[in-house]
Structure 1
Amino acid sequence: MRDDESLTLDRSTTPQKASTPTASPLPHWVRVLAVAGLVLAAVNLRPAVTSLGPLMKEVRDGLGMSGAMAGLLTSVPAACFALFGFAAPRLARRHGPGAVVCAGMALITAGLLLRPFAGGTPAFLAASALALAGIAVSNVLMPVIVKRYFPDRMGQVTGVYSMALSLGTALAAAVSVPLTDAMGHGWRLGLGVWALPAALAALVWLPLVRDRSSRTAAAPVAAAPAASGEHGRITRSRTAWMMAAFFGLQGTSAYVTMGWMPQIFRDAGISADKAGLLLAVTMVMGVPLSFALPQIAARMRSQGPIVLVLAVFQVAGFAGLWAAPAAAPWAWALLLGVANCAFPLVLTMIGMRSRTGAGVVRLSAFAQSTGYLVSIPGPILVGALNSSSGGWGLPIALMIALVVPQAVCGVLAGRNRYIEDEL
């Protein structure tokens, strides 16, 4: 692999010998609107999940939900992301990525509006699935949107929308309980209020529904070598499989943290307000790191060292939760917040492991959809182990053990490779 084929932020490292099609300049309004749309979409990609964690006890009591069913609920995001994520590339080819993301924001709005009216667990799960379907297609297309509209600024723009994603995640975790208390209508209104920012995001994406100018903007990074592998099966790529496994294992950790960490703190005697605030601290850590980390990763030939550093923080955070959750809760929240930055890292790696926009679509869909399938059992197993053992020792020990394969897959996925060469 030639060094000059690396996809970085530095324009001077762009291949000079490859025959690259000339990209038509995008209208200024399109780029401005695309940035605004990316930021608003990213803000809405996690509140459906993180608003639920601090209120999980109230939701379980209100719906008569068992521990195993609550574990299933924390795995619904991964299941929906896997199921609907596979459809995202086909929908984007047929209707355009802007139209699909706009529809995704509309689905989030509808699901979050319907969820408070659920009279039982099945209806609550169905409404959640509707919102999560919108999140799923938007999740897959975020790296694609960046590649198409900003092929020369992938690290910077990925950092911006990753930062917005972390901000939305943290905001929902921090204010859901205080909002619920302030509005005085129980958990239902506290969850339903998050439909408002999703509706705003859908409105911003409307002008981009019929935009096709970005199709000429994402020229291949190295067109000639990419052509030989463009139509090969993505399942033949070892890098794609490692990316999917790394995505899935880091997703397992993230959804266990978002879904169960507040309950771990509450079971240790910490109040609901403080537990929600601790989850917010974990998510807030991703705001500055999600902006800086993609830019650092994009300048490195291999992202393995970053993967290993994040793994160390992850082990330390879970070990603290296992040994003494109430002794230093802020420290455990901070450590796991750093570890959760594996998500913007893997998004950056997806954009760097293919030479073309079409390759990024395929890799993003495969890695995210397969990865979310991998992450489904984790939160369910954590809930079941908690119910059967009556404590959090076994579930947290499982999470610590999973760090090892996560780090191995991340190091292998972070090697300086292009999927086209493996196809």
Structure 2
Amino acid sequence: MSRRSVVLVLGAILLLSLNLRPAAVSVGPVLDELRAGLDMGPASAGLLTSLPVLSFAIFGALAPSVARRLGPHRVTLLALLAVVVGLSARAAVRQEGAFLALSLLATAGMAMANVLIPSLVRLHFPDRIGLVTGLYTTALAVGLTAAFLLTVPVADALGGWRYGIGVWAVLAAVAAVPWIGLVRRDEALVAPARDIGFGDIARTRLGWAMTLFFGLQSLMAYAVFGWFATLWRDAGFGAGTASALVGIVAAMSIPLSLVLPQAVARPGDRRGVLVAVMACYPIAYLGLLIAPQALAVLWAVVLGAALTTFPIVLTYIGLRTRTAGATAALSGWTQSTGYLLAVIGPFGIGVAHEATDGWTVPLVGLLVLSVPLFLVGMYVGRPAHIEDEFARRERRIDQSSDAPPPLGTT
């Protein structure tokens, strides 16, 4: 690509990344005001907070096949336009049902773009997967942190929660602009005669290992962001300090997301980097069991480092495939099925906390889950490609079908 094309594509990917979380998390900081304004009951509020996970599971699974038919750039543009329409329109509606439907539209667009972005990195930057993944996951972390920190100030400054959640539509509209110029690139793409599809990934060990790896790390992330502010409040901190500690957890991903993908993308077996990151999980959980208040800042920093397993697994999606189509299929499979597993995290932590009226059992549960996370991480961290595993499987099937029938059969 020319330098101009590199700047255009990279800028488009980074702007897209900034918009992959605000649609999901911007309602949280103003949820009480939103519920009062729409007269929303607890069941609808629970559905609203579950929409991102449902969208990842449903629409994320559809993204690879739609991209094969329409082209990844067109689908990405349509996804961003869905975010723009969903975020802007839901800020204006007065009916609870319409608000939920438009929230679904926005999170559906977010989910489809989220699945396609690793394949876009593979397509445009096949030799710089680690660098570009580091850049876009850093932008994603910035968007996530900004949505947490700025929604309430914007709402207060402009006059209400509708402005706080609606302002993110402006950012999505800006992000859509460069993709208008990129849609023509779909016409030049030549589909391979036989590419790996969504169903093919489901028949590979590496595909299932990626699901478990992505799902377990997402489970822990949802548990942390959903409940650890309450954990620190129960440990004796005020609401502001507890939120600030969660903010430290989130902020740790900004610098580390830039470094770690490049580290694991270097040639050779780089599982040592993954070991160092995943070891932070049991250290943080044990620390919170022993001294949740005295060393709270230290455990927040360590836990934030552990949660940067997320950009590593996104890097592996690109590294474990050879083509953009296979990357999209692996991304769709990994994220859609992985998020279904992840939803257990906040639900299970909440049930365990309510049942025991404490945090020992939830933390021990998370500590135990760090063991299978480590094991499956070691498996997916080995240099391998999903196409090779699928090809070996196809050869075994062909050899089995060509084998002569057993003696005594006709």
TM-score if structure 1 supplies the norm length? 0.81
Q: Deviations over 1:382-410 (max 9, x none)?
A: 33444444444443333332222222111
Q: Deviations over 1:308-350 (max 9, x none)?
A: 3222212233444455544444323222221121111011111
Q: Which amino acid aligns with 2:332?
A: A
Q: 2:262 aligns with which of 282, 295, 303?
A: 295
Q: 2:108 aligns with which of 112, 129, 133?
A: 133
Is 2:204 the counterpart of 1:237? yes
**Per-residue deviation at 1:99?**
1.4
Give the root-mean-square deviation of aligned CA atoms.
Answer: 3.1
Q: Which residue in 2 is equivalent to 1:249?
A: 216
Mapped partners of 1:368, 1:276: distance in 2: 28
**Per-residue deviation at 1:121?**
6.6
Are the aligned partners of 1:140 and 1:368 in contact in 2 as well (CA < 8 Å)?
yes
Are the aligned partners of 2:196 and 2:329 in contact in 1 as well (CA < 8 Å)?
no
Are the aligned partners of 1:314 and 1:336 in contact in 2 as well (CA < 8 Å)?
yes
**Per-residue deviation at 1:110?**
2.6
Question: Given the superposition, is the C-alpha separation of residues 117 and 170 from structure 1 closer, same or farther in structure 2, using an over 3 Å criterion?
Answer: same
Are the aligned partners of 1:54 and 1:275 in contact in 2 as well (CA < 8 Å)?
no
Q: Which amino acid aligns with 1:147?
A: R
Which SS does the other structure have where 2:316 is aligned? helix
Q: Which amino acid aligns with 1:138?
A: A
Q: 1:195 aligns with which of 169, 178, 192?
A: 169
Question: Given the superposition, is the C-alpha separation of residues 114 and 334 from structure 1 closer, same or farther in structure 2, using an over 3 Å criterion?
Answer: farther
**Per-residue deviation at 1:415?**
1.3
Are the aligned partners of 1:101 and 1:137 in contact in 2 as well (CA < 8 Å)?
yes
Which SS does the other structure have where 1:45 is aligned? coil
Q: Which residue in 2 is equivalent to 1:400?
A: 367
Give the unaligned 5+ runs of structure 1: 1-25, 221-226
Please show how residues 175-324 of structure 1 align to structure 2 within 5 Å.
Answer: 175-185=150-160, 187-212=161-186, 215=189, 230=196, 233-268=200-235, 270-324=237-291
Q: 2:312 aligns with which of 341, 345, 370?
A: 345
Is 2:15 the counterpart of 1:48? no
Q: Which amino acid aligns with 2:152?
A: V
Are the aligned partners of 2:83 and 2:110 in contact in 1 as well (CA < 8 Å)?
yes
Are the aligned partners of 2:121 and 2:129 in contact in 1 as well (CA < 8 Å)?
yes
Which fold has the larger relative contact order, with Cα–Cα distance below 8 Å and residues 6 or more apart in sequence?
1
Are the aligned partners of 1:174 and 1:279 in contact in 2 as well (CA < 8 Å)?
no
Q: Which residue in 1 is equivalent to 2:141?
A: 166
Question: Given the superposition, is the C-alpha separation of residues 183 and 418 from structure 1 closer, same or farther in structure 2, using an over 3 Å criterion?
Answer: same
Q: Which residue in 2 is equivalent to 1:156?
A: 131
Q: Deviations over 1:243-277 (max 9, x none)?
A: 11101111111222233333444455544444444
Are the aligned partners of 1:103 and 1:134 in contact in 2 as well (CA < 8 Å)?
yes
Q: 2:333 aligns with which of 348, 357, 366?
A: 366
Are the aligned partners of 2:72 and 2:186 in contact in 1 as well (CA < 8 Å)?
no
Q: Deviations over 1:166-217 (max 9, x none)?
A: 11112222233333444452x443333222211211223221123237737x
Which piece of structure 1 moves more, 332-341 or 135-144?
332-341
Question: Given the superposition, is the C-alpha separation of residues 290 and 175 from structure 1 closer, same or farther in structure 2, using an over 3 Å criterion?
Answer: same
Are the aligned partners of 1:49 and 1:258 in contact in 2 as well (CA < 8 Å)?
no
Are the aligned partners of 2:257 and 2:311 in contact in 1 as well (CA < 8 Å)?
yes
Mapped partners of 1:370, 1:277: distance in 2: 31
Q: Which residue in 2 is equivalent to 1:80?
A: 55
**Per-residue deviation at 1:136?**
0.8
Question: Given the superposition, is the C-alpha separation of residues 230 and 133 from structure 1 closer, same or farther in structure 2, using an over 3 Å criterion?
Answer: closer
Q: Deviations over 1:220-246 (max 9, x none)?
A: 9xxxxxx99857822221111101110
TM-score if structure 2 supplies the norm length? 0.83
Q: Which residue in 1 is equivalent to 2:400?
A: none
Question: Given the superposition, is the C-alpha separation of residues 327 and 343 from structure 1 closer, same or farther in structure 2, using an over 3 Å criterion?
Answer: same
Are the aligned partners of 1:318 and 1:400 in contact in 2 as well (CA < 8 Å)?
yes
Give the unaligned 5+ runs of structure 2: 391-410
Q: Which residue in 1 is equivalent to 2:402?
A: none
Are the aligned partners of 2:222 and 2:343 in contact in 1 as well (CA < 8 Å)?
no
Q: Percent same amino acid at aligned positions?
A: 42
Question: Given the superposition, is the C-alpha separation of residues 355 and 313 from structure 1 closer, same or farther in structure 2, using an over 3 Å criterion?
Answer: same
Question: Given the superposition, is the C-alpha separation of residues 95 and 229 from structure 1 closer, same or farther in structure 2, using an over 3 Å criterion?
Answer: closer
Question: Given the superposition, is the C-alpha separation of residues 336 and 359 from structure 1 closer, same or farther in structure 2, using an over 3 Å criterion?
Answer: same
Aligned length: 388
Are the aligned partners of 2:120 and 2:324 in contact in 1 as well (CA < 8 Å)?
no
